Amino acid sequence: MKVIAGRVVGGKIEIETDLQEGTPVAILAAGESGFQLTPDEEEELVTALNDIRRGDFVDGRELLRELKGLL
């Protein structure tokens, strides 16, 4: 995992990076005061992203159907 700071300019995110063209990225938008992750939180985030890449997740629409079924 690599953390890269950037800015939104003209509606697009601009960053300077050595990532290869076409590399998938995940973007977390920081608030005014920014954010920090503890090592445990960062590991949890990395694990979740890896789960998603493997297709191990519940689609939002599927989750809503499941929740509606509980009512």
Q: Where are the domains of the chain?
A: 7-70
Q: How far is Cα 63 from Cα 50, in angstroms, rounded to an integer?
A: 20
Is 90 exceeded by the pLDDT of residue 8?
no
Model confidence at 68: pLDDT above 80: yes
| SS3 (DSSP) at 50 | helix
Mean pLDDT of the chain: 84
The model's pTM is 0.47
